[in-house]
Chain A
């Protein structure tokens, strides 16, 4: 049994070498470059990668701190990006749950729940017997943690030592990645409207007052999108 679980853990860790792992490496590389370009220390960048492990929240937090926002505003915006982890956890954990799983294992896996882990796990795990899923998933998550930490460190130094135009290009990765990911994750009508409204509203708001742009476009644009689709018809 234990040998089986070790084998599952190793298989899972191997899965982190998949395209999903590559995408994460690239995004955390770009995030490391952002941390350096914002004049913040590596410990902060790496600490957030390990303890937050959710790239939208990390980018928001770093960008807000670099702009000199208050810690309360930065924390509030970060938490607004993180609430979306709740439904991911709610739908993923029943797939992993098994009576033989120790409690710490569930909590450890929960720490890594984010869009990429969720997407890949929902594809891979249902194919495995349920008593093997948690070990497999934990191996996958720890493999990703290694990747993303290394990506953060390399990105941090790349931004400092690359010629300025290449360094500028590394800073384009995050906005492009988020923008394309939104096409992937915004499947429902409400989310599509939110994507369009939030992006459009942010243009004048950023020009007028960058520090208000995220909270304004997020809360107002998101709420309008929600109300528009709620009144007309059910989602989908």
Chain B
């Protein structure tokens, strides 16, 4: 992965996987209906995919998150979600409440000799 060719190959793949949809938007912006059936299906697939990505990032997490108990990751998500609906859908505040919960639980878990 350290060689430059594969880095730029991956950037090129990312660009080519993304940009044509924006160009298509430019081309079609005069005629395509936002409520079309195909677009409704596409939106459903990408919504389900992102929901799945959230679960995979929590169940099989990257890096040092892997060394934390899985239950704490889900409790952190739960607390952020509760905060989100409690405090008028304030995104940044809710994220920080989720992170604070996560760090607090990790600390408490450590104090109790990591029972989780």
Query: What residues make up the interface of A, taking CB atoms closer than 8 Å to B?
Result: 19, 22-23, 26, 33-34, 36-41, 43-44, 47-48, 51-54, 56-61, 63, 65-66, 71, 74-91, 93-94, 97, 106-107, 110-111, 113, 159, 164-169, 171-186, 188, 190-191, 193-199, 201-203, 205-207, 210, 213-219, 221-223, 225-226, 230, 235
Known: A81-B50, A195-B47, A235-B35. 8 other contacts (CB 8 A): A22-B92, A38-B62, A83-B42, A169-B103, A182-B51, A194-B45, A194-B47, A207-B59
Q: Is the CB of B84 within 8 A of A71?
A: no
Contacting residues, chain B, for A86 (C-beta < 8 A): 21-22, 24-25, 28, 32, 39, 42
5 contacts between A and B (CB under 8 A): A38-B63, A165-B68, A176-B98, A197-B51, A213-B55
Q: Is B71 an interface residue (CB 8 A)?
A: no
Bound-state CA distance A48–B38 (Å) is 28
Cβ-defined partner of B1 (8 Å) among A40, A47, A81, A222: A40
Q: Which residues of A contact B61 (CB under 8 A)?
A: 171
Q: Mark B23-50, 1 if CB is under 8 A from A, else 0.
A: 1111011101011010111111111111
B67–A164 CB distance below 8 A:
yes
Our count of residue pairs bridging A and B at CB distance below 8 angstroms stands at 328
Asked if B46 contacts A218 (CB within 8 A), the reply is yes
Cβ of A13 to closest chain B Cβ, rounded Å: 21
B1 to chain A, nearest CB (A): 6
What is the CB-to-nearest-CB distance from B6 to chain A, in angstroms, rounded to a whole number? 9
Name the residue of chain B whose CB is nearest to the CB of A56. Answer: B50
What chain B residues lie within 8 Å of A106 (beta carbons)? Answer: 26
With contacts A75-B13, A86-B39, A110-B26 taken as known, whether A190 is within 8 angstroms of B52 at the C-beta atoms is no
